[in-house]
Amino acid sequence: MQSVPDADSKKPSRSETSTIYRARRVLAIKPFRRLWGVTYLCSTADWLALLGVTGLVTKLTQNYTAQNFAFSAVVLTNLLPGLLFAPLGGLLADRFDRRKVMVVCDLLRCGFLLSIAFVGTPLWLFVGNFLVGVASTMWIPSKDAAVPNLLRRPDQVETANQLGLVMTYGLAVITGAGGYSLITGIDSTLRLSAGSPFDPLQLAKIIVIINGLLYLTSALLIATRIPELSHREVHAIEKPNEKKKDTPKRADVDATGFVAMTRDAAKYIRSTPLIRGLLIGMAGAFAAGGAVIGSAKPYSSSLLAGDSAFGLLLVAVFLGLASGMIGAPRLARRLPHDRLFGVAIVLAGLALIIVALSPHLAVSLIAVAVVGASAGVAFLTGVTIIGSQVEDSIRGRINAIYQSLLKVILGGSLAVVPLLIGLVQKRTVSVWGNALTIDGTRPVMLGGGVLALLVGLLAYRQMDSRRTEPILSDLRNAISRRPRRVNGLLIAVEGTTAINTASQAARLAEWLQTGPRPVVLAADPALDEKRLQSLLVGASLTGARAQALVAAAVRADIVERDVQPALDAGSVVVMERFVDSPLAHLSAVAGLDADEFEGLADWATGRLRPDITVLLDSDPGSPRPEKSADSHDQWRVQHLLAEMAAADPDRYVVVDADGSEEEIGDRVQTALRAVLVGRRRGLVPVEATLEA
């Protein structure tokens, strides 16, 4: 079914569905914009601290070997807290006021960094850097869990995550590295002597002090300018027709200890296939990513392309990563997030297998770019699922588990991969006349690809909420750039008279009630006709275009109020005179241009189109002058409906509408039985399947 895209895509203009438009809509929200600025400050401080603390430790040590290990030691002491304390950060985010947690963590980071500069000993440098990492581990889950509560709608979470990633891994990196180069360049530019206020040691301390002041600025901004960070459960997540999960409520969380909160999180993951599949999928993806990163340098040598191949492979994977994060929201408008996540990991695994078997640098570059793009899509989709589909009372813990999985599995993979590579002896073989070096990197990458493929399939099966909808159909929609399909099934009953369509729609809904899915008969035709006439009379609207606009408004209200929620819940929706009959009537009777009114109808319904349209085809005879104007109009409407059905035979089921209501109803059921069994197994009523 070609259905309604996400909320921001329900606009007629292409510019309004662009990434820039969606970003502007999110940045127009003042609390989020301020948090985005705070993210910039803290991310800049993070990157600057990595370089500044490394530079300081090299100035504090005279031993050459110690200086060589300085960078690795700084990175290790900064990442180790994430391996040890990430779950605790999630508990704090769900148990206490997130704004206060972030303020305290920023003040601690500021204090520890200032102490590193003033104490000035290598031992305290590593201890202080570890404590800064602990505070950062506590800060991140609170920030990530608070973001959805700052937005106007849950569908803006994806764009907000995009903006956060751009800031953290784009602008902040440039600012941090550029600031470090600018400050350290003072020494070489001015040729300062040792012992001067701005010698290399003093400059290194100044950089660390600047880091601390950046965190202090962040704390002040959060405390005074973003009180909205304290808000909870702004967007209640309600999923119709879904069994209620064992999710702790806000009052229960406030009265629960840390051990019980940990048990609640584990219970929630076990009882929620979506989150269970998400964590399983990302575990495999992180392991595969570790295999790629850990074996990239020796793999580039096996391609016999020189050291430049390593740089090209890094460029390819990061370009792919960026393009995947940029393109993920567009793919999500044509493919549901739960399916997109699993498909992205499977595609990454297949591409990694190609990388492992690749005999040439050009093939490797393309495949590595696909791996990066798939990883970017999967990562952004994962954090979007957590932000938009996990209840606020437990979101912090799930975010923390997600982040700790990334660090534990990625770090473990980086440690194990070199050992695995060393177990395989290097040998050279000839492939299509080209020399190909086979070393440990290729089996490791092949194993990583197979692992990602299997885990992606497992995650897909865990997360997929639309098992009755074929995945190939969704993939065709994504490739052909059509709007995303929804969970339910929409059946429209069209015809020339409202009496026939209303009675047959009611009969059809009653028959489908015996099937496996819930059935909704959308709206009350008589009531909606009364509303339309009331609006037309009350506003004294007599022009055809004005009446068309009012009719579109009534139709839009029906779709938003009744049809779309039922489809999203996976129901079968039966609706009479959805679009085609009003379109044919206004075109034939009011003389409106069919293309113009069709565009108006697309806008009113969000381009929603029925999966199946049942056309009640009665014989209107031939138009004769002696017939009444109403009969003549009915003939023209029926003629237009027949033309619509002929132009799109895959979507229409034409049923002879001459005879009694019972006879027509039997024909409709017989026609739909064949269509539903052929296209949508599992939707046909049980007795109908047995009869067939």
Position 105 confidence tier, pLDDT thresholds 50, 70, 90: very high
Is 242 contained in some domain?
A: no
Q: Is the pLDDT of residue 314 over 70?
A: yes
Sequential DSSP letters for 340-382: HHHHHHHHHHHHHHHHHH--SHHHHHHHHHHHHHHHHHHHHHH
Do 429 and 571 share a domain, yes or no? no
| Tens digit of each residue's pLDDT (9 = 90 or more) over 66-76 | 665 666 677 77
Mean of the pLDDT values across residues 273-291?
Answer: 81
Mean pLDDT (whole number) for 283-288: 77
Cβ atoms within 10 Å, residue 663 = 12
Say if residue 261 is in the same domain as residue 321.
yes
Residue linked to tokens 């509303």: 531
- Mean pLDDT value across the chain: 75
Q: Which of 485, 500, 535 is the last residue of a domain?
A: 485
Boundary-marking domain end, from 485, 512, 530 = 485
What percent of the chain is predicted at pLDDT more than 90? 11
* pLDDT above 80: residue 36: yes
pLDDT tens for 172-189 read: 888 888 888 888 777 666
Backbone torsions φ then ψ of 520, nearest 5 degrees: -125, 125
Q: Give the pLDDT score at 542.
A: 62
Residue 492 backbone phi and psi in degrees, to 5: -105, 145
Distance CA 352, CA 360 (A): 14
Is 240 domain-assigned?
Answer: no
Judge whether residue 59 has pLDDT over 60.
Answer: yes
Domain identity same for 199 and 308:
no
pLDDT exceeds 70 at position 193: no
Instruction: Supply the pLDDT for residue 3.
Output: 38
* Between 55 and 46, residue with greater pLDDT: 46
Least confident of 9-23, 557-571, 606-620, 657-671: 9-23
Q: Which residues touch 148 (CB under 8 Å, ≥6 apart)? A: 154, 157, 160, 234, 235, 387, 388, 392, 395
pLDDT of residue 38: 94
Residue 266: pLDDT above 60?
yes
Domain-embedded: residue 588: yes
What does the block give as tokens for 373?
Answer: 């793009």
Q: Is the pLDDT of residue 112 over 90?
A: yes
Question: Per-residue confidence at 690, pLDDT binned at 50, 70, 90?
Answer: very low
- Residue 100 maps to a domain: yes
From CA 485, how far away is CA 611, in angstroms rounded? 10
The total number of structural domains in the chain stands at 3
Candidate ranges 91-95, 300-304, 496-500, 537-541; pick with highest mean pLDDT: 91-95
Say whether both 118 and 253 belong to one domain.
Answer: no
Residues 636 and 582 grouped into a single domain: yes
pLDDT value, residue 691: 42
First-to-last alpha carbon distance for the chain, in angstroms, is: 25
State pLDDT tens for residues 474-493: 666 656 555 544 567 888 88
Task: Pull the structure tokens for residue 170.
Answer: 């784009």
Separation between Cα atoms, residue 313 and residue 308, nearest integer Å: 9
pLDDT recorded at residue 31: 92
Residue 244 domain flag: no
Task: Assess contact for 641 and 494: CB atoms under 8 A.
Answer: yes
Final residue before a domain boundary, out of 417, 450, 485: 485
| 468 domain residue, yes or no | yes
200 and 305 within one domain: no
- Lowest average pLDDT, out of 34-48, 272-286, 531-545, goes to 531-545
Residue 309 has pLDDT above 70, yes or no: yes
Select the more confidently predicted residue: 9 or 644: 644
**Weakest-pLDDT range from 44-53, 219-228, 331-340, 425-434:** 425-434
The predicted pLDDT at position 107 comes to 96
Q: By residue range, what is the domain housing residue 288?
A: 249-485
Lowest pLDDT segment from 3-12, 245-254, 262-271, 574-583: 3-12
Contacts 24+ apart (CB under 8 A), 218-225: 218/38, 218/41, 218/42, 218/45, 218/106, 219/102, 219/103, 219/106, 219/107, 219/110, 221/34, 221/37, 221/38, 221/41, 222/38, 222/99, 222/102, 222/103, 222/106, 223/99, 223/103, 225/34
Q: Please indicate, yes or no, if residue 26 is contained in any of the structural domains.
A: yes
d(CA 387, CA 414): 29
Mean pLDDT of 123-138: 91
Output 230 or 465, whichever has higher pLDDT. 230
- The pLDDT of residue 65: 58
Q: Does 537 share its domain with 590? A: yes
Question: Which residue did the predictor score with more confidence, 560 or 542?
Answer: 560
CATH number at residue 229: 1.20.1250.20
Note whether 449 and 544 are same-domain residues.
Answer: no
Whole-number pLDDT of residue 528: 54
CATH at 567: 3.40.50.300
C-alpha to C-alpha distance for 517 and 500, rounded to whole angstroms:
25
Q: How confident is the model at residue 372 (pLDDT cuts 50, 70, 90)?
A: confident
Question: Looking up tokens 């002597």, which residue turns up?
Answer: 193
Higher pLDDT, 262 or 672: 672
pTM value > 0.75: no
- Flag whether 243 is in a domain: no
| Residues near 285 by beta carbon (within 8 Å), at least 6 away in sequence | 345, 348, 375, 378, 379, 452, 455, 456
pLDDT of residue 39 exceeding 60, the answer is yes
User: Which of 226-240, 251-265, 504-518, 628-642 is the most confident on average?
Assistant: 504-518
pLDDT of amino acid 1? 37
The token duo for 123 is 């031992």
370 vs 643 pLDDT, higher one: 370
Residues 618, 656, single domain; the answer is yes
Instruction: Find the mean pLDDT for residues 191-195.
Output: 55
Are residues 492 and 469 part of one domain? no
pLDDT for position 279: 86
Q: Inform me whether the pLDDT recorded for 408 exceeds 80.
A: no
**pLDDT tier, 231 (very low <50, low <70, confident <90, very high otherwise):** confident
What would the mean pLDDT of 386-398 be, rounded to a whole number?
A: 82
Q: What is the pLDDT of residue 213?
A: 95
334 and 360 inside one domain: yes
Question: Do 131 and 274 sit in the same domain of this protein?
Answer: no
